[in-house]
Structure 1
Amino acid sequence: MRQKKVPGLSFLLVLGCKVNGERPSKALKDRVLTAAEYLRENPETRAVLSGGQGRGEEISEAECMRRLLIREGISEERLILEEHSTTTLENLTFSQCFLNRERDEVGLVTSNFHVYRSMYIGKKTGYKKVYGIGAPARTVLLLHYMVRECFALLREFFR
């Protein structure tokens, strides 16, 4: 699911994904490059980089994203790190302290197969003006991720 980019958003909320040591996974790199493109086109937009540190990760997902965005030419002053979340629900919940869910227009940057569930959780947790920005997914694993997302979405409906 790839949605049309809305220009001039207050914030991007970039959802974390696996880091291998200190290097981004392909999915995380795709999310960050999608965010970098948007941030270059919208110089007033800031980004909340959301993701903690899991097993096998030498740095947090947020720190990994920060490093890559800086390499992509995005000013560090535009980047806010949320380094404690380990799930999509936590990404959206813990990032609330950096923005106003009621007022700010927020673009959720995640893999295209993950946009629908992320938007569902975002609205469920009180985000009023939220837009999905889907990064391209690798086609080799797309079926696997789509099936996984279906089960995860069912779990969200019953939460």
Structure 2
Amino acid sequence: MRKMSVPKIVFMCIFALIGIICILYGLKVHSAGYGSAFFAVWLALGIFFIFCTWAVWFGLWMRLPKWFRIAFIALCVVCLGFFAVIEACIASRINSKGEDNLDYIIVLGAMIREDGPSSILKARLDSAIEYLDGNPGTKCIVSGGQGYDEPCSEAEGMRKYLVEKGIDESRIIMEPDSMNTIQNIRNSKAIIDNDNAKVGIVTSKFHVYRAVKIAEKQGFKNVSGISAYVVASYMPSNMFREFFGVVKDTLQGNM
């Protein structure tokens, strides 16, 4: 029987458990049809952890040059630290409620289906309704174009939902051309045409940090976030995916 130290056994058990959890979670996300193809990242991460366990068990890790092992561990530590910093930034805005008496709120679009808003968009709209009910002087911009698999523009679908829920149609402004967050905010800014207006961005709680930073980059001087509910079991996947969104938009100069 292979003799192994207690720390090494603990390491293997932890990595194997993490790998199994990642794979099962990825399958859960995939089965729910939630998060597009990002479930594959969880599967890949799970396979990586299981491979590390296998490499330690069969002694492959110790056969690698010492300099490589040190460099690999150092790289992992740096990457984990970077990941933790970005995730902390994202988490800092997940419970944003926005200021009272904003001039405008902008509801960022998401999938519209034949039977109405998707669950993630419905949550954003419900947050917008709650805010509008408490702040009767605020106008609402609904922003989102029409995807190839959507029956109408996201803006039109959102307008219908808000009106059905009792929001006065005169308070709703449609922006039906945007296809991503950058365009949502840029096109909405053109409608507002006032850099000093007090504006709230209504979006899913994991997306608030990036949306507000993009708005600030585009010239909004008084902008805050209004977070919408997300199913708790899918928050890990959303937070993980948002990490890549923040990195991408930072590198592209969007935020």
Deviation by residue 1:110-143 (Cα, 9 ceiling, x = unmatched) = 0000000101111111111001000011112211
Q: Quote how far apart the aligned CAs of 1:22 are.
A: 4.9
Distance 2:178 2:115 in 1: 17
Corresponding residue number in structure 2 for 1:104: 197
Q: 2:177 aligns with which of 78, 84, 99?
A: 84
Mapping of 1:54-93 within 5 angstroms?
Answer: 54-93=147-186
Deviation by residue 1:16-63 (Cα, 9 ceiling, x = unmatched) = 011123510000000001001111111110001000001210011111
Distance 1:28 1:77 in 2: 21
Is 1:115 paired with 2:208?
Answer: yes
Question: Match of 1:128, as an amino acid?
Answer: K
Q: Quote how far apart the aligned CAs of 1:101 are.
A: 4.4
Question: Match of 2:158, as an amino acid?
Answer: M
From the superposition, tell whether residues 22 and 86 of structure 1 become closer, same or farther in structure 2 (CA, over 3 Å): farther
Question: Match of 2:95, as an amino acid?
Answer: R
The DSSP-based 3-state class of the residue aligned with 1:152 is helix
Corresponding residue number in structure 1 for 2:221: 128
Mapping of 1:7-46 within 5 angstroms?
Answer: 7-46=100-139
**Higher strand proportion (structure 1 or 2):** 1
Distance 2:141 2:135 in 1: 15
User: TM-score w.r.t. structure 1 length?
Assistant: 0.96
Aligned length: 159
Q: Specify every segment of 5 or more residues in structure 2 that has no aligned partner in the other structure, as ranges.
A: 1-93
Corresponding residue number in structure 1 for 2:243: 150
User: TM-score w.r.t. structure 2 length?
Assistant: 0.61
Question: Match of 2:112, as an amino acid?
Answer: V
The DSSP-based 3-state class of the residue aligned with 1:54 is coil
Larger Rg: 2
Distance 1:124 1:77 in 2: 29
**Higher helix proportion (structure 1 or 2):** 2
Q: Which has the higher contact order (CA 8 A, sep 6+)?
A: 1
Question: Match of 2:125, as an amino acid?
Answer: V
Moved >4 Å (runs of 4+) = none
Q: Given that residues 13 and 108 in structure 1 are in contact (C-alpha distance below 8 angstroms), is that contact kept between their aligned partners in structure 2?
A: yes
From the superposition, tell whether residues 114 and 101 of structure 1 become closer, same or farther in structure 2 (CA, over 3 Å): farther
The DSSP-based 3-state class of the residue aligned with 2:188 is helix
Distance 1:70 1:4 in 2: 22
Distance 2:161 2:206 in 1: 22
